[in-house]
Each structure stands twice: as C-alpha cells, then as structure tokens.
Amino acid sequence: MQYLIPIVAFLGLAAGILLKKTCKEEIKPGKPYFKILEKIILAIIIISIFHFNYTNDIYFYLLIIAGLGLGWLLSYNYLYFGIALTTLNPLTAVLIFIYGLPRGTLKPELKKNIVLFALPFLLLLINYNFTSVAIGALTSILIKKIKN
C-alpha cells in the first residue's frame, strides 16, 4: 500500500492539467498567484525533505553540494521529486501533489515528467538515501525561480 504514495504524488500534475483545461478563463488572471504558490510550496517541500532526512554525516553535506550543481544544470523538478520520494514519506508526497496543481496549470508537460519522476526509483536498488541530492537540486531550482 505504501508504494502507491508516488503515484498519488504525481497525480497532482495531472489534476493541474485537468484544471487548466476545464477553467481556461481563470488561468490568465490567476497566473501570478500560481507562480507565487509554486515557489512557496517548493520552499516548503525543501524544508520538509531536509527535516525528515537530516543526518549529521559528511556525505549528506557533500551530496547537497553536488545537488546544488546538478540542479543548476538540470532544472527538472519532477526528477528530484522522484529522488525525494524514494523514502516514501507521505507528507512529502502530499506536498508534491499540491505543487503539481499550480505546475500543471502553468506548464502542462505530462509525458516528460512521468519519465523523469519514475527514473529515480531505480535508486531503490542501491541501498543509500540520495535525498540530499534532491535537497540541493531543488534549492538551486528555487533560487533560479526567485531570480526570474
């Protein structure tokens, strides 16, 4: 039952796309609010991932730094959401679902995001927690979004 958590998390993007198709006249005036909501939820996701996965280990910090560089080069949110959900944390999944609503209304790219979201689950074959890479990468993506 716990393996349904990533599927539920990804359905937020599909719900956002459905929202965009059903309420076309509301999207244009709500666009600045969706952008603000997207940034706020992304910051909350980063904080919650950090809170639930913090360890006082040198590898944790090194992977955050590597994630900062990786996120600066590859700005695919759902790739890093997939890495963060390898821990199967329900709170993170709910926040990713909520993040998908404004994201789906602003940039509806369902097929590409499904592949990017499912790809990190191959990391479950390696018995190590790579969520610190997601923390660093999502932080650099958030910094890029705030600058724009």
pLDDT tens digit sequence for 34-70 = 999 999 999 999 999 999 988 888 999 999 999 999 9
**In Å, how far are 70, 102, 120 from 108, measured between CA atoms?**
23, 10, 21
Q: Is the dihedral of CA 82, 83, 86, 91 positive or negative?
A: negative
At residue 97, the pLDDT reads 95
Indicate the number of domains in the chain: 1
Residues 6+ apart with CB under 8 A from 81: 9, 45, 96, 99, 117, 134, 138
Q: Report the alpha-carbon distance of residue 113 to residue 24 in Å, rounded.
A: 22
The token pair that represents 21 in the structure block:
């198709």
Mean pLDDT, residues 79-95: 90
Domain that holds residue 42: 2-147
**Pure H helices in 1-148:** 5-22, 24-53, 58-73, 77-84, 90-106, 110-118, 131-147
Q: Between these two residues, 77 and 113, which has the higher pLDDT value? A: 77
CA atoms within 13 A on the CB side of 59: 5
Q: Report the alpha-carbon distance of residue 8 to residue 97 in Å, rounded.
A: 7
What is this structure's pTM?
0.88
pLDDT tens, position by position, 109-134: 788 878 888 888 777 777 778 889 99
